Each structure stands twice: as structure tokens, then as C-alpha cells.
């Protein structure tokens, strides 16, 4: 698909007039997200400020401000006498000889993006052994059509794993094998939409890909604020969303854990409102400073759909995840899978079952907890040395932390300047839904980086901040942020 001239209606920008977020920000956020996720591709011509303003029934100045901000951040080009266009991302090059448009992503100099474990230590030998053993010993019937929920003996292993690792008490018949949490959420969202739901709640901020998954199923994501105790549950009361997606163990991206009283309040909300909690337990296996907090699932097993994944513990490329389903909603979700892809690859399920049964995941996790803890400590140390005035949050668990910056403008200028220096990272506000009012900052993933690489990357990031700070018109941006 080549670049094209977009009409205002193609952009799918909507304005929420009840939101306290300024309208220019709402336009800007939605366009930025569309560009970053590839929904708007490089070279596409955006509507003129006049056309977009007319279409959205807003003043032209508002669109001018939104476009100007996106241009400053490097997302779009503004040219005299021509419509603005989406900039071709610098890190993407196209292979002219490739038969189709295959996009190759050039590696950034420093990759601090969240969400990826160290792929270099994927236990290849153990995986290969499991594949070989599983395939050689599997009965022929296993290679045919199986239960859409997944191979039964794999569900036995998963029920056992979530029970001992995350305190999720369940039985194999409640377990659904999926292609990861994103896939699980997609099935759930489709089943909810089929039941008549129009909205779904999310923590605000929360992972932008999950918002899109819900949107594609026809549900409008509604954001609810998050503070140091995680989701502000009281905001859900009266909001009439049929379900809410939460990451209680390590909120993405802020890194806070849902407090005990909020967990209880959330479970009560779900029971009182006949609503569902979708527990995205994406990186809870890695917890460093406190004892592991069990899954929320145990507080209301009839109301919680628990989602787990091998993406952070092993590799996203495996595309293996699981959902633990409450009886009330089980059939619809399983049907979404069986009427879309029928079943997950049995060959991968066989290998994963053998891998789990042989204790390979536990072994890998024991090793990686130590490694990631050391990396986490290395980032925290490097930040203390290089950027002592900037507060750091969300360090107790997972594979990322947050560098807190005092304002949206600061976050965006540091983000854009980092990008210019080929430092890839994420901002909190790119994961925000309409109505978001902070806090702002950068999400720093450290999963794949060695300790020397971490030190170098943080030093480079500090250089970016210092250059920004020294720019004549910026003033002392970081002082007093803490």
C-alpha cells in the first residue's frame, strides 16, 4: 500500500469534549499514536488544517497547534502551500530489491524500549530438546485437530505453573492456550462486543497496543487514572464499563503495584457490578525488592480473567500465552478462538508442555531473576550518577522503570531529542488514553542490555538532557523536578 492523500475522515480522530485534556492535545495524541503504530504510514498526506478543523468542528488554530507540535517532534513535515505529510521514520529503510514491501528496522544506537527480555539467552538447547522429545513421543492423534482450548496435558502444566508461581488456583479445564496476552485480550474483547458491550476500561496510561486491540474488536477504551497505589478504583464506580484491564503486579507503564486495599475494592466493584477484571500479569515473574505479590485472581476467581504469557519470561517470538477463564464467560471466549484460528499450533504446544514438565522454565527464571536484578540495579545506579535530580519510579519489578519528567512538554522534548540521537525509548504519554493528565516521563526498558551497555545508554541519555537544558530558551528544566 503506497502513501496516499488522506481525508479528515480517514484519520479516525475523535474529540472527547467532556475530557479535561485540551483539544489540540487530543488531536496530537491520536495522530502521534497512529503514526507510531504504523496506521499512518510515511509519506501519507494529512488533511489541511482548514479541512481537519472543519471536519472536527474545532477552530483552525487548534489544528495548527497540534500539527506544529507533531512537526517539532519530527512526526510530520509542514511545507508552505502543501498539505502536511507523515515523515518517513528514519529508522525504517525499504529494501528496493525486496519483492514485496518488507520493512527493515535499523537498530537504534541505544535500544531502551520496554517489553523485551534478553533474547540472547533464550534457552535454545533446552527448547530444541523439548521440541524433539515432544514430537518423537507424541501420539499421532495429537497432530490432528485437538480441543480448541489447547492440548490437555499442556493445560495441566499451565494450571500447575500459575498455581505455584502466581497463586492462581485453577483447573486445566479453565485454561485456554493462546498466542500471548494480546491475542487473549483480542478474543475477550470480541466476545464482549458480541455480548453487546461498547466500552472497556483500561488503566490510564496502559499499553497502547492493548487499546488498539480493543478498538479493533469494536470496543471504545475508557481510561481510569492510576496513582502510586495503582488503579484508582473509586473512579470505576458508576462508570458502567463491563470490564476493566489491569496490570496489578507491575502497572504498565508506571510500574506501581496495586495496593491491598485497592485490590479488595476492585474485586468488590466487579462483584457488585457484574463486571469482569482482566488481569494482565505480563511480567510478574520478575520482582526484586519485595516478596512476590500473588495474582489478583484469587480474590474473585469468578470475576477475573487471568492472562499470562511466555513473552517476557522466554521470548515474544514464541507467541505462547494463556488465559484462565471464569465459568460464566468461558464458552464465548473459546468460541472466538475456535471460529477464528481453530486451535493453536499443536507442535509448539507439545514442545512447551515438555519444556514446562522438565522444569526448564523454572530453571531459566531462576537464572534470569538474578541477571535482571543486576541490570535493574545498574540502571538505577547509572541514573543516580548521571541524572541525580530526576526521580525514578516503578523499579521494584519487571523489565522496565520510569524516569519521571515534570511536564508533558518536557517529556516530549526529551523524547524527541533522544530519538534524534538514535536512543529508542517510550514515553508515558504515548500509552495514554484521552483525558490523561500525567504524570509524564520516559519508560526505560533494560531487559536485553548488559551492564556496560546500560551505563553507556544512560550516559548518552543524560547528555541529551544536558544539551536540552543548556539550550538558551529552555531554562533549567530538570532542577526541582523531584
Ligand X SMILES: Cc1ncc(COP(=O)(O)O)c(C=O)c1O
Instruction: Tell me how far apart the alpha carbons of residues 191 and 178 are, in angstroms, rounded to a whole number.
Output: 15
Site string for ligand X, 355-374 (x = CB under 6 A): --------------------
- SS3 state at 392: strand
Cβ proximity to ligand X: between 86 and 114 the closer is 114
Cβ proximity to ligand X: between 311 and 413 the closer is 311
Among residues 130, 182, 313, 427, which is the contact residue for ligand X, using CB under 6 A?
A: 182
Minimum CB–partner distance for residue 316 and ligand X (Å):
5
Minimum CB–partner distance for residue 235 and ligand X (Å):
20
Minimum CB–partner distance for residue 171 and ligand X (Å):
22
Instruction: Tell me how far apart the alpha carbons of residues 442 and 179 are, in angstroms, rounded to a whole number.
Output: 29
Following DSSP, what letter does each residue of 434-455 receive, concatenated?
Answer: TT----EEEEEE-TT--HHHHH
Site string for ligand X, 116-145 (x = CB under 6 A): ------------------------------
Cβ proximity to ligand X: between 67 and 252 the closer is 252
**307 DSSP β-pair partners:** 280, 323
Residue whose grid cell is 531459566? 364
Minimum CB–partner distance for residue 452 and ligand X (Å):
25
For 153, left (φ over 0), alpha (ψ -120 to 50), or beta? alpha
Minimum CB–partner distance for residue 209 and ligand X (Å):
7
By CB under 6 A, which span of 120-128, 166-174, 178-186, 410-418 interacts with ligand X?
178-186
Beta pairing, strands 243-246 & 276-280: parallel
Among residues 33, 65, 174, 207, which is the contact residue for ligand X, using CB under 6 A?
A: 207
Binding to ligand X (CB under 6 A) within 265-324 occurs at 280, 282, 309, 311, 316, 321
Residue whose grid cell is 473459546? 334
Using omega within 30 degrees of 0 as the cis cutoff, is the peptide bond preceding 205 cis?
Answer: yes
427 binds ligand X (CB under 6 A): no
Minimum CB–partner distance for residue 252 and ligand X (Å):
3
| The three three-digit cell numbers of residue 268, written as one number | 468488590
Minimum CB–partner distance for residue 119 and ligand X (Å):
13
Minimum CB–partner distance for residue 459 and ligand X (Å):
26
* Residues touching ligand X, count (CB under 6 A): 13
Half-sphere exposure of 10 (CA within 13 A, CB side): 14
Among residues 108, 180, 223, 439, which is the contact residue for ligand X, using CB under 6 A?
A: 180
Among residues 75, 110, 161, 252, which is the contact residue for ligand X, using CB under 6 A?
A: 252
406 binds ligand X (CB under 6 A): no
Q: Which residue is nearest to ligand X (CB)?
A: 180
85 binds ligand X (CB under 6 A): no
Cβ proximity to ligand X: between 127 and 282 the closer is 282
With a CB cutoff of 8 Å and minimum separation 6, the contacts of 386 are 458, 459, 461, 462
247 binds ligand X (CB under 6 A): yes
Assess contact for 199 and 242: CB atoms under 8 A.
yes
For 263-331, the three-class secondary structure string (H helix, E strand, C coil) is: HHHHHHHHHHCCCEEEEECCCCCCECCCCCCCCHHHHCCCCEEEEEECCCCCCHHHCCEEEECCHHHHH
| The three three-digit cell numbers of residue 37, written as one number | 503504530
Residues forming the site for ligand X (CB under 6 A) = 115, 180-182, 207, 247, 252, 280, 282, 309, 311, 316, 321
Amino acid at each position: 500500500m503506497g502513501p496516499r492523500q488522506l481525508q479528515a475522515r480517514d484519520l479516525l480522530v475523535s474529540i472527547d469534549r467532556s475530557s479535561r485534556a485540551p483539544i489540540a492535545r487530543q488531536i496530537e495524541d491520536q495522530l502521534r499514536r497512529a503514526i507510531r503504530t504504523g496506521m499512518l504510514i510515511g509519506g501519507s498526506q494529512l488533511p489541511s488544517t482548514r479541512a481537519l478543523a472543519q471536519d472536527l468542528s474545532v477552530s483552525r488554530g487548534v489544528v495548527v497547534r497540534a500539527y506544529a507540535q507533531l512537526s517539532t517532534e519530527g512526526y510530520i513535515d509542514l511545507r508552505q502551500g502543501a498539505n502536511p505529510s507523515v515523515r518517513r521514520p528514519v529508522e525504517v529503510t525499504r529494501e528496493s530489491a525486496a519483492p514485496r514491501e518488507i520493512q527493515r528496522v535499523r537498530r537504534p544506537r541505544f535500544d531502551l524500549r520496554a517489553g523485551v527480555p534478553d533474547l540472547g539467552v533464550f534457552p535454545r538447547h533446552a527448547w530444541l530438546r523439548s521440541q524433539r522429545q515432544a514430537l518423537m513421543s507424541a501420539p499421532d492423534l495429537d497432530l490432528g485437530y485437538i480441543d480448541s482450548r489447547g492440548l490437555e496435558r499442556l493445560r495441566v502444566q499451565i494450571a500447575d505453573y500459575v498455581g505455584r508461581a502466581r497463586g492462581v488456583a485453577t483447573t486445566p479445564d479453565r485454561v485456554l492456550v493462546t498466542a500471548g496476552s494480546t491475542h487473549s485480550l483480542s478474543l475477550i474483547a470480541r466476545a464482549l462486543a458480541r455480548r453487546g458491550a461498547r466500552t472497556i476500561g483500561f488503566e490510564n496510561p496502559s499499553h497502547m497496543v492493548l487499546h488498539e486491540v480493543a478498538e479493533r474488536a469494536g470496543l471504545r477504551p475508557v481510561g481510569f487514572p492510576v496513582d502510586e497505589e495503582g488503579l484508582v478504583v473509586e473512579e470505576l464506580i458508576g462508570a458502567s464499563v463491563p470490564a476493566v484491564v489491569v496490570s496489578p503486579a507491575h502497572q504498565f507503564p508506571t510500574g506501581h503495584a496495586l495496593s491491598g486495599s485497592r485490590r479488595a475494592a476492585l474485586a468488590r466493584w466487579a462483584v457488585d457490578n457484574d463486571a469482569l477484571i482482566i488481569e494482565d500479569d505480563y511480567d510478574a515473574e520478575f520482582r526484586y525488592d519485595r516478596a512476590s505479590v500473588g495474582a489478583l485472581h484469587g480474590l474473585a476467581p469468578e470475576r477475573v480473567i487471568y492472562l499470562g504469557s511466555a513473552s517476557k519470561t522466554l521470548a515474544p517470538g514464541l507467541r505462547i500465552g494463556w488465559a484462565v477463564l471464569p465459568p460464566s464467560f468461558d464458552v464465548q471466549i473459546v468460541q472466538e478462538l475456535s471460529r477464528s484460528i481453530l486451535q493453536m499450533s499443536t507442535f509448539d504446544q507439545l514442545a512447551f508442555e515438555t519444556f514446562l514438565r522438565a522444569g526448564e522454565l523454572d530453571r531459566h527464571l531462576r537464572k534470569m531473576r538474578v541477571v535482571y536484578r543486576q541490570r535493574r540495579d545498574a540502571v538505577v545506579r547509572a541514573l543516580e550518577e548521571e541524572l541525580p535530580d530526576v526521580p525514578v519510579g516503578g523499579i521494584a519489578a519487571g523489565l522496565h522503570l520510569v524516569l519521571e519528567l515534570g511536564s508533558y512538554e518536557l517529556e516530549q522534548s526529551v523524547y524527541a531529542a533522544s530519538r534524534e540521537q538514535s536512543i529508542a525509548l517510550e514515553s508515558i504519554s504515548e500509552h495514554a488514553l484521552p483525558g490523561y493528565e500525567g504524570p509524564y516521563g520516559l519508560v526505560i526498558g533494560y531487559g536485553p542490555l548488559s551492564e556496560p551497555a546500560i551505563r553507556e545508554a544512560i550516559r548518552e541519555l543524560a547528555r541529551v538532557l544536558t544539551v536540552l537544558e543548556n539550550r538558551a530558551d529552555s531554562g533549567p528544566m530538570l532542577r526541582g523536578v523531584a
